[in-house]
Structure 1
Amino acid sequence: MKAYQFILPLILTMLFTTCNAPASPALSRDGRVPETVERKPNIIMFLVDDMGWMDTSVNGSEYYETPNMERLAKLGMNFTRAYAANPLCSPTRASILSGKHPGRFGMTTPAGHLPPNPEEDLTRTEGAPWQKMVQQGIRTFFPLKEFTIAEALKTNGYVTAHMGKWHLGQKGYWPEQQGFDVNVGGMMHPGPPSFFSPYKIANLPDGEPKEYITDRITYEAMDFMEAHKDEPFYLNFWQFGVHAPFQAPQDLIDKYAAKTDPRGKQNASIMGGMMEKVDQSLGMLLDKLEELELMDNTLIVFFSDNGGNMYNTIDGEFPTNNYPLRHGKGNIHDGGIRVPAIVVWPGKIAPGTSSDELIQSIDFYPTFLEASRTVANPDQALDGLSLLPVLRDAKSLKRDAIFSHFPHYVIAPDNLPSTAAWSGDFKCIKEYGEGTDRGDVYRLYNLAEDLTETNDVADRHPEVVARLGALIDAHVAEIGGQLPVINPKYDPAAKSPMGKTKAFPMDRYPSY
């Protein structure tokens, strides 16, 4: 990290504090700052892996039991239209850390477990015969040159920690290289080798035999908060749940096996157990904050990196069901990218509130900067907007649309290389090379009337398609996004693997 990246923000922070802060009052006799001086808030980013929008009772699930998510929602604001930057994990994680669209640095699918490729030319001119378009290469690491939210907050006196899944590069690209003072569990793993101890992750301590990994991450996080309760901290609380391998304690599997979803949609008992363990982790966190008397000065964000998994199978069934949203993880339709989102900051955000404002994972970086009164690094251009006007004053954000650039074929059903834009009630998807003469196709959905994205209304609203199509093109050009090109080897008779599911045999992933 270059020296100026630390020195300049520090100088700006000192100037900002000097010019804007009230005169410092005298300390009391016991040496403590009087309560009239506002402390910087602690910030906790609680990120769940592969948790769908409908995987919580807050948003209407009648199968999963998530009382602590309900408890959190009662403390703050629930966002009904929150989106990840990408329908797969690593790009969204990178967007949270950078405040940028991951297309800016070519990390648009999750490949953080692969060897770094900083010198590789990502240009591709040929694809598999079944592909109409040639998808371009991707970066397999989150660039060290990005000035992360952890690095920014450290210039303002924060101690920083990452707990849990990282998946943003192999050795040399881990949290300790990106501004985190403490790193527990953050390496290259897409999912844990095991959800039960021993975990086989070098920097994650094992617990007692058969201890569950969400509990271990929580214990480590609570120890960190205890050790740093007297100074502002930023905590990445990034759980491995509910990603594959699908494993849960047997008593919880049995509990959900005995349940029936009144909606008739969610029925994977092992996922029920995994979801409940994540909810328990959240409850343990909230209890610890209350015990340490930190709740009133802590900003908490609850979020997921993408939608629920509906391409792997457990005993022939999907792990979850995102209905009424269409499809799931790895798909540009809303089931793959709309996620649960709750933000809590006692005294700043009205409790028990809800918002239908369009927000995205890129928005948390500027939100944390403003909430902590941290001066932004001028070399870190941000794509997101601070959410504080929404959170504190119920105001709308001033932007035309949010975007997701996902120009890839992946195994998820019905996914094609595309870019999407959401604006007001409408969602426009530009599918590359799917039209006549290999032209592009635009699809338009009114999500206010058609949450399932069943009715393409592009023909009825050509003016909306033209407006959003132009915004999509401008967005991709502005971020320098990779674009697919026509595949000269395309063969209409070639068989496609798209939509085929991968089963997870339970004898390979035992439960306890």
Structure 2
Amino acid sequence: MPKFHYPTLLFVGLFLCTCVRAPEKPTQKPNIIMFLVDDMGWMDTSLNGSEYYETPNMERLAKMGMQFTRAYAANPLCSPTRASILSGKHPGRFGMTTPAGHLPPNPNEDLTRTKGAPWQKVVQQGVRTFFPLEEFTIAEALKTNGYTTAHIGKWHLGQKGYWPEEQGFDVNIGGMMHPGPPSFFSPYRIPNLPNGEPKEYITDRITYEAMDFLEAHKDEPFFLNFWQFGVHAPFQAPQELIDKYTAKTDPRGKQNAPIMGGMMEKVDQSLGMLLDKLEELDLMDNTLIVFFSDNGGNMYNTIDGEFPTNNYPLRHGKGNIHEGGIRVPAIIAWPGQIDPGTVSDELIQSIDFYPTFLEATATAGNPAQQLDGVSLLPLLTDNKPLKREAIFSHFPHYVVAPDNLPSTAAWSGDFKCIKEYGEGENRQPAYRLYNLGEDPTEMNDVAALYPKVVARLGRLIDDHVAEIGGMVPVINPTYVPGSKSPMGTTKAFPMNKYPSY
């Protein structure tokens, strides 16, 4: 059974307000806001124990709804998770398993690879560099039910021809191919994002645009896909906030990057401004709000020689399939539908939002759009446990993040099993098993103690990869034992292969 704690924070929602039947009025459709942060780690909020970042508006939202302690992105990097939100599918189904959306589209490229670099034990397969237009997105689905749809902020799901307006969005402000903004300060150098006064901050600019959208569409049902550029690189923040966090010390001794402190506070302010606007327009009680991050906090870039953040006690960060790279903060709020101040330990994933939005709005899905996620609505409104055996992430790549290996992971109950391609005897797969209930740091591999669990989850992983048609690494015939990667470790990936993660 799922565990709930009162009082506490996280999932805010919206209530299906049944109008008075004068003659006969339909049930009012809830608005939906998908508030997505870029590269925000599970420990990057005071909700989960950070004593460095100040996030009062995240706490405010959590008090309105339900917070999730075990929420996962579909992938430990941004574009695949974003695609999973829009499609309700695992991104391995369409081969977009790294964030390559800034590169030229490759619809006709054969993704099969047979040779790798000498330091690679296995050959990682190619990836799609765009989110397929054939996917029937949640925006397209909601439009069939009378919703006005807007995307504001980062996109990074393909070059021109693969932008939000091609995927069901009536409004697109700022959504192009950029992995991160050319500048966080105006002028932003993003053609479809208006510049502000000199040195205006981009987080403020997209928030102003979002509030204008709310004002313009307050009398009709809307879906606002509000995807932050923060807290992705380039690492830039207003000087007054940098000074504020320079004067702070983390009592935990873990998070100490003043620029990141400023960036995180601006994202929190953005959330607060949006909540204030909903209250001003009397929309709060009819708006379902999801707060989520696309992957874990960045722990491979540096600012003045230090990582931008620290995900401890979770292991590693962005670009790594361990918990720090893929477990993320999550809140869903819907006043009148979700009990306020609750916390759930259920496993949820980014693929679940699509079916949740369909059910919450009574929107008919497209039978041709296969959904991998499950609706969270019974959990949110009736505390009913989710019915599935496991969740998965297929990430078969070497990337720049420390200690990452081509892997597929499964979470089931308290257990997490990772299948590492090429790391076993004779470069066969190796299996790691962690009991996250007892060991959230993933420091103790208990595979030898639970062989039956490993066998069961290993079968589930193989079945999952086969079912989604996921590309799988093969043994590299050009591997040279002991050879070093360009990053100085056999487990790193060349930085210039996919620039600007």
Correspondence for 2:64: 75
Correspondence for 1:449: 438
Does residue 169 in structure 1 map to residue 135 in structure 2? Answer: no
Aligned-residue offset at 1:378: 0.4
SS in 1 for 2:207: helix
Correspondence for 2:40: 51
Correspondence for 2:21: 25
Distance 2:108 2:272 in 1: 44
Does residue 320 in structure 1 map to residue 285 in structure 2? Answer: no
Does residue 385 in structure 1 map to residue 378 in structure 2? Answer: no
- Within-5 A mapping of 1:109-508: 109-496=98-485, 497=487, 498=489
Question: What is the letter of the counterpart of residue 21 of structure 2?
Answer: P
Correspondence for 1:11: none
Distance 1:500 1:110 in 2: 16
How big is each residue's C-alpha offset from its partner over 1:89-134, in whole Å with a ceiling of 9 and x where there is no partner?
A: 0000000000000000000000000000000000000000000000
How big is each residue's C-alpha offset from its partner over 1:420-468, in whole Å with a ceiling of 9 and x where there is no partner?
A: 0000000000001111111110000000000000000000000000000
Aligned-residue offset at 1:395: 1.2
Distance 1:493 1:478 in 2: 35
Structure 1 contact 313–501 (Cα < 8 Å) conserved: no
Question: What is the letter of the counterpart of residue 76 of structure 2?
Answer: P
Structure 2 contact 399–492 (Cα < 8 Å) conserved: no
How big is each residue's C-alpha offset from its partner over 1:28-61, in whole Å with a ceiling of 9 and x where there is no partner?
A: xxxxx87xx5311000000000000000001110
Matched positions, count: 476
Structure 2 length-normalised TM:
0.93
SS in 2 for 1:122: coil
SS in 1 for 2:393: strand
Correspondence for 2:14: none
Distance 2:345 2:88 in 1: 21
Aligned-residue offset at 1:494: 1.4
Distance 1:193 1:361 in 2: 27
Aligned-residue offset at 1:493: 2.7
Structure 1: state its 5+ residue gaps.
Answer: 1-20, 28-32, 504-512
Distance 1:490 1:439 in 2: 14
SS in 2 for 1:433: coil
Q: Percent identity?
A: 84
SS in 1 for 2:351: helix
Distance 2:362 2:196 in 1: 38
Q: What is the Cα-based RMSD across aligned positions, in Å?
A: 1.6
Correspondence for 1:30: none
SS in 1 for 2:328: strand
Aligned-residue offset at 1:500: 6.7
Structure 1 contact 367–385 (Cα < 8 Å) conserved: yes
SS in 1 for 2:318: coil
Aligned-residue offset at 1:22: 9.8
Distance 1:136 1:502 in 2: 15
Question: What is the letter of the counterpart of residue 397 of structure 2?
Answer: H
How big is each residue's C-alpha offset from its partner over 1:481-501, in whole Å with a ceiling of 9 and x where there is no partner?
A: 000000001011311224679
Indicate how the Cα distance of structure 1 residues 480 and 165 shifts in structure 2: closer, same or farther if over 3 A, else same.
same
How big is each residue's C-alpha offset from its partner over 1:107-164, in whole Å with a ceiling of 9 and x where there is no partner?
A: 0000000000000000000000000000000000000000000000000000000000
SS in 2 for 1:396: coil
Distance 2:223 2:291 in 1: 14
Aligned-residue offset at 1:23: 11
Question: What is the letter of the counterpart of residue 440 of structure 1?
Answer: P
Correspondence for 1:17: none
How big is each residue's C-alpha offset from its partner over 1:315-339, in whole Å with a ceiling of 9 and x where there is no partner?
A: 1100000000000000000000000
Structure 1 length-normalised TM:
0.91
Question: What is the letter of the counterpart of residue 266 of structure 2?
Answer: K
Structure 2 contact 399–494 (Cα < 8 Å) conserved: no
Structure 2: state its 5+ residue gaps.
Answer: 1-16, 496-501
Aligned-residue offset at 1:26: 3.4
How big is each residue's C-alpha offset from its partner over 1:176-203, in whole Å with a ceiling of 9 and x where there is no partner?
A: 0000000000000000000000000000
Question: What is the letter of the counterpart of residue 27 of structure 2?
Answer: E
Instruction: Choose from 54, 57, 62 the match for 1:65.
Output: 54
Correspondence for 1:506: none
Structure 1 contact 312–502 (Cα < 8 Å) conserved: no
Distance 1:23 1:332 in 2: 47
Distance 2:74 2:167 in 1: 20
Distance 2:203 2:273 in 1: 11
Aligned-residue offset at 1:502: 11
Question: What is the letter of the counterpart of residue 292 of structure 1?
Answer: L
SS in 2 for 1:282: helix
SS in 2 for 1:357: strand
Distance 2:494 2:122 in 1: 24
Structure 1 contact 77–343 (Cα < 8 Å) conserved: yes
